[in-house]
Amino acid sequence: MKEIRNQEFGGERPLYCEHDLYLENVIIHAGESAIKETSNITAVGCRFEGKYPFWCCDTFTVKDSIFTVGARAALWYSKNLVMENTIVDAPKMFREMDGLKLKNVIIDSAAETLWHCRNIEMDNVRCDRADYIFMHCSDAVIRNFKLSGNYSFQWSKNIEIHDSILNTKDAFWETDNVTVYDSVIDGEFLGWHSRNLRLVRCHIGGSQPLCYAEGLILEDCTFAPDADLALEYSDVKATIKGNVVSIKNPKSGSIKVDSVGEIIIDKNLKAPGDCKIEVLSAK
């Protein structure tokens, strides 16, 4: 394997079409497509400042590195990435990728990040300013994830999330087969039009959660005081701990809840309109 240490590169495609390459303490200055069309690349302790550094790459590792604001759209159309202990200040990371393993990564400007990606593993990742993250993604296992940004996971499928904190409005819209365990999900209009969304021991905040959902399952979840008008027009099977401010017009299924402030069933209830609501104790 060719090794490059303690060097600086800039301009257009300085390491284009390189293969079997080890980079250490390398700086990629302003320019474009520095490491494009490559394979079997390892970068350790590197700094990326130019646009599109890793496009069309196969099998590469990035550790203990930083992507500055100028390294926008850094990793697209690539596969088999391992990234660890890395800070990302660049927007629009990870598009059209297959095979990502991220561990101990901070993405400070995560808007429009992780689009059309597949086969994702994440552990201890934090994403801020992350509007529209995870659009059209599939087959992901995510642990210890901290997210701040709206419209997350839209049109994604086969997603599993554990022990995470998600501050995100309009999350999980039009998703298929998403399961979230032992997490906090705080944001308005959670999970609308989702299919087979399952929340296990989660704490749910934000107005009008979980409406228009098909195959919705809640297992031992709790609701925040602002999570009102829940479950409208949803097909749901739920066990809910504690109190829910209000439940409105669930379409079908069953709900067991410790207590509820108000159950709203009005003329707008949709067929079959046979959801069974069992209140286990007085408020």
Per-residue H/E/C for 120-155: EEEEEEEECCCCCCCCCCEEEEEEEEEEECCCCCCC
pLDDT range class, residue 182, cuts 50, 70, 90: very high
Q: What angle do CA 17, 75, 40 make, to 5 degrees?
A: 45
Please write the tens of the pLDDT for every residue from 247-279. 999 999 999 999 999 999 999 999 999 999 999
Q: Please give the Cα distance from 145 to 150 (Å, whole number).
A: 15
d(CA 44, CA 61): 8
Calculate what percentage of the chain has a pLDDT beyond 90. 98
Q: Is residue 131 scored above 80 in pLDDT?
A: yes
Cβ contact 97:74 at 8 Å: no
- What is the average per-residue pLDDT within 95-99? 97
Please check the confidence at residue 9 and state whether its pLDDT lies above 50: yes
Q: For residue 283, what pLDDT is reported? A: 47
Give the pLDDT confidence score for residue 282 in this predicted structure: 57
CA-only gyration radius of the chain, Å: 22
pLDDT at 1: 86
Return mean pLDDT, the chain.
Answer: 97
Tell me the per-residue pLDDT of 32-81, one tens digit each, with 9 for 90 and over: 999 999 999 999 999 999 999 999 999 999 999 999 999 999 999 999 99
What are 194-204's pLDDT values in tens digits? 999 999 999 99
User: Which residues pair with residue 122 across a beta bridge?
Assistant: 102, 142
User: Residue 122 — pLDDT band, cuts 50, 70, 90?
Assistant: very high
The pLDDT > 70 percentage for the chain reads: 99
Question: What's the pTM value of the predicted model, to 2 decimals?
Answer: 0.95
Q: Is the pLDDT of residue 211 over 50?
A: yes
Do the beta carbons of residue 219 and residue 202 sit within 8 Å?
Answer: no
Mean pLDDT, residues 154-165 = 98
DSSP label of 206: S
For the chain, the domains span: 1-149, 160-283
Residues 6+ apart with CB under 8 A from 267: none
**Could you give the CA distance from residue 264 to residue 165 in angstroms, rounded to a whole number?**
30
Residue written as token pair 């069974």: 276
